[in-house]
Chains A and B, each alone.
Chain A
Amino acid sequence: MKLKPQGDAAAVLVFAVLLLAAGVFVLTGIAQLAATQALIGQSEWQALDRRIRLENSRAMARQFMLARMFNGVVAAPITFVDTSLGGFSLSPISSTNTGGDYWTTLSTTNTNVNLKINPFTLMERGGFYRVVVPGKLYSDPTATNNGVDWNFQVRTRSPITAGYPVVQQLPASNNVALLVGAVPHIDMTKNEQFIGFHDMARMRVSSVTNTAVDATGYEGFLDVPIGVAAAGLFTNVVFRPANAQVTEMQAFIDLSTSDPQDLNQVLRYELVADTADFATNGTNYAGVPVTSLLVRGTEIFDLKPLQVVIPKERTNLQTIFLEGRNPLVTGRPVYINYQRSAGGGATLSMVATNATGRWRLGLSASHSDVFCATTGIDIVGGIRTDGTISGNPSLEQERDPGGLDYIADRMMWLEDYKTP
C-alpha cells in the first residue's frame, strides 16, 4: 500500500486545529466563570450596602413614628439627607393627617385598606391603625426604579381582642415598658411610659366642652369638673382625670362636694383615694342608688368606653362590683386596669350583684390574683392577669368589631410594609 504522507500531515494539522479550538472554547468558558465569580463578589457588597441603607431608612422611620405619633402633633414634613450613610437620603416624610382625628378604627370593612396583606384574622380586627409615613423614605440612586416608597403604620390590639378571654402573662420586667412588634404587654408599674393611653382615648371624645379648669389649656379630653350623678354618696373618694399623670394637671375633684356633672365626656378615671370597693354600674337607667363606689353609665348609647385606672397605691381596693347589665356594644364597655405593688399577692374579687346577662368588660390585673364571683353573668371581653384566676367566671369572646375596638389595648405596635 502506498503511503500518502501529505494526507497524514493534513490530518494531523486538522486535528491540532480542532484541539486548539476546543481548548480555546473551554478556556473561554472558564474565563467567563471567573468573571462571573468576580461579579458575584462585587454584587454581594452592593446588595449588602443597599440592604443596610434600606434598614437604616426603616430604623429612622420607626424612630420618627415613636417620637412623633403619640404627642398629638401633626408631623411636619422633613427632609433629611446624609451622604455619609452611603448616599442614603430621606426625602420628605409627610403625614396623611387631614384633621384632628388621627386614628382610624379598624373595622371589618377597612382592614384591608392600605394593606397589601392582611395579618389580622376576623377576631383580631379590633384596634386602631394609622398610616403614618407614606412618603418616599429611601432613595437609592443605583436602583433602577430610583427610590422605594415605604409606608408605615402604627397599630394597636389586645390579646383580648385577639380572641383570648383569659390571658395570663409573666410579671412585667423593670426595663421594658414599650414593646414594639411584639405581643402587647401592659406594665402597670410604668405608667409614665405607658404611652398612647390618653392620646388614643382623646380621639374617642365626641366633643370637648368649653368649660376649662386647667389654666394651661391642655387640649386633652377632660378639662371640666367631673362628678357623678349623685354627689354625696361617697366619702373620701376623689377622682381625678387620668391624664393628670401625663400632663401634671392637678385637677382633683372631690366627689363628696362636687356638683353632679354629666359624665358624658369622662372617658377615663384614676382612682386616687383608698377605698375598699369599686362598683361600676352598667345599667342603661340612671338614678339607681348604690352603696358602694359607683361609676355610673347613664343613657350610655352614645357614650364611649370607660377606662378606669387603679394604680398600685390603691392597695385597699379588693372588690369590683358589677351591677346591672352592660350588654350593648353601643353602650359603655368598661376597661379596668388594676395593679398592686409587686409581690403583693393579694386577690382582687370581681363580684356580680344584681347583675344579669352579658357584661362587657376588660380587666387587666397586675401583681394580683383574680377571683370571680360572677355567677349569673357572662363577661364579654376578657380578664388579663399575671396572677391566677379562680372562681367560676363565664367568659365570652368579644366578637363584635365595635366592641373589640372599645377594649383594644393601648399599647401599640408598629408595622411597616413596602408599596409595590
Chain B
Amino acid sequence: MRARGYSLVEVVLAAAVVAIGLTAAAVLVGTLMQQQELNAASLRAANLQEQAVKLYRLDLSSSAIRGLLPEPCVASGAPPSGGYTLSFSVPSSTNLEIDGTTVDLDRTRLTLVYPNTVAAGNVTNRVDIVRPATRVRYAQ
C-alpha cells in the first residue's frame, strides 16, 4: 500500500497557522522592543529630572544645572537629538504663611520635555519643587 501524504489543503492550513503564530510573535516582539525603548527613555528622563531637582536644591542656577546633567539640555524649544528641554519657571503659588507672615521659600516649576520614541511629538513632565530660602550659598 502506497503511503498517504498530506493534501494541499492540509499543508496550506498548517502553513497558515504557523504564519499567524509567527506574525503574532513578530508583532509582539516589535511591541516589546518599542515598549522597552519607551521605558528606557522614560526612565532616563525620570532620572534626569530627579537629578535636576536635587541640583536645584543645592542652590545651583538653571544654566548650571543644565550644564551639569549628563545629557544635552536646552532651556527652550524642541529637545535636541538625544537630549532634553529643561526649563525653570516660577509658578503662581500659594505662599507658606506662619501667623500671617510669609515664609521665604524658593519655589520653581521644572519642566522636562523629551522625544516620544514610539510616536510623533514629545513627552512633557512638570514638577513643582521648593527649597529653603535660607541655605548655604554656593558661588557659581
Chain A residues at the B interface, C-beta cutoff of 8 Å = 2-3, 5, 16, 20, 23, 27, 30-31, 33-34, 37-38, 40-41, 44-45, 48-49, 51-52, 55-56, 59-60, 62-64, 66-68, 75-76, 78, 80, 82, 84-86, 90, 175-176, 178-180, 182
Checking A3, A45, A51, A180 against B135 with a beta-carbon cut-off of 8 angstroms, the contacting residue is: A180
Chain B residues at the A interface, C-beta cutoff of 8 Å = 1, 3-4, 14, 17, 21, 24-25, 28-29, 31-32, 35-36, 38-39, 42-43, 46, 49-50, 53, 57, 91, 93-94, 96-99, 103-105, 125, 127-137, 139
Q: Is the CB of B136 within 8 A of A67?
A: no
Chain A to chain B: the 8 pairs with minimum beta-carbon distance, closest first? A63-B132, A41-B39, A66-B134, A5-B4, A41-B42, A34-B32, A62-B132, A85-B128
Q: Is the CB of A44 within 8 A of B32?
A: no
A342 to chain B, nearest CB (A): 18
Interface pairs (14), CB distance under 8 Å: A20-B17, A23-B21, A23-B25, A33-B32, A37-B36, A40-B43, A48-B127, A60-B103, A60-B132, A63-B104, A64-B103, A67-B104, A76-B99, A84-B94
Q: B interface, by DSSP: helix, strand, loop or mixed?
A: mixed
Q: A interface, by DSSP: helix, strand, loop or mixed?
A: helix
Q: Is the CB of A30 within 8 A of B32?
A: yes
Per the bound structure, the CA–CA distance linking A64 and B97 in Å amounts to: 9
- B residues in contact with A75, CB < 8 Å: 98
Checking A16, A56, A67, A85 against B103 with a beta-carbon cut-off of 8 angstroms, the contacting residue is: A67
Closest to A82 in B: B94
Checking A3, A60, A76 against B130 with a beta-carbon cut-off of 8 angstroms, the contacting residue is: A60
With A59-B132, A84-B93 as known contacts, state yes or no: A175 contacts B98, CB within 8 Å. no
Q: Is the CB of B32 within 8 A of A41?
A: no
B39 to chain A, nearest CB (A): 4
- Beyond the given A27-B25, A34-B32, A64-B98, could you list 7 further A-B residue pairs with CB under 8 A, ordered by the A residue number? A52-B53, A59-B130, A60-B130, A63-B104, A76-B98, A90-B96, A176-B137
Q: Is the CB of A44 within 8 A of B42?
A: yes
B32 to chain A, nearest CB (A): 5
A56 to chain B, nearest CB (A): 5
Per the bound structure, the CA–CA distance linking A180 and B58 in Å amounts to: 12
Q: Is the CB of A41 within 8 A of B38?
A: yes
- A residues in contact with B53, CB < 8 Å: 52, 55
Closest to A34 in B: B32
- A residues in contact with B97, CB < 8 Å: 78, 80
- A residues in contact with B46, CB < 8 Å: 44-45, 48
- A residues in contact with B57, CB < 8 Å: 55, 59
Q: Is the CB of A52 within 8 A of B134?
A: no
Checking A2, A30, A78 against B98 with a beta-carbon cut-off of 8 angstroms, the contacting residue is: A78
- B residues in contact with A86, CB < 8 Å: 127-128
Per the bound structure, the CA–CA distance linking A75 and B97 in Å amounts to: 12
Q: Is the CB of A41 within 8 A of B43?
A: yes
- A residues in contact with B104, CB < 8 Å: 63, 67
With A76-B98, A176-B137 as known contacts, state yes or no: A44 contacts B105, CB within 8 Å. no
Q: Is the CB of B25 within 8 A of A175?
A: no
Q: Is the CB of A20 within 8 A of B21?
A: yes
Per the bound structure, the CA–CA distance linking A93 and B110 in Å amounts to: 27
With A45-B42, A64-B103 as known contacts, state yes or no: A51 contacts B98, CB within 8 Å. no
With A30-B32, A40-B39, A44-B46 as known contacts, state yes or no: A56 contacts B3, CB within 8 Å. no
- A residues in contact with B25, CB < 8 Å: 23, 27
Q: Is the CB of B35 within 8 A of A37?
A: yes
Checking B3, B21, B99, B105 against A59 with a beta-carbon cut-off of 8 angstroms, the contacting residue is: B105
- A residues in contact with B36, CB < 8 Å: 37
Q: Is the CB of B42 within 8 A of A80?
A: no
Per the bound structure, the CA–CA distance linking A142 and B93 in Å amounts to: 23
Closest to A173 in B: B139
Checking B99, B105, B134 against A60 with a beta-carbon cut-off of 8 angstroms, the contacting residue is: B105
- B residues in contact with A60, CB < 8 Å: 96, 103, 105, 130, 132
Closest to A62 in B: B132
Per the bound structure, the CA–CA distance linking A64 and B105 in Å amounts to: 9
Q: Is the CB of B136 within 8 A of A176?
A: yes
A246 to chain B, nearest CB (A): 17
Per the bound structure, the CA–CA distance linking A5 and B91 in Å amounts to: 79
Q: Is the CB of B136 within 8 A of A179?
A: yes
Q: Is the CB of B128 within 8 A of A63?
A: no
Per the bound structure, the CA–CA distance linking A81 and B1 in Å amounts to: 89
B99 to chain A, nearest CB (A): 5
Q: Is the CB of B98 within 8 A of A27?
A: no
- A residues in contact with B129, CB < 8 Å: 52, 55-56
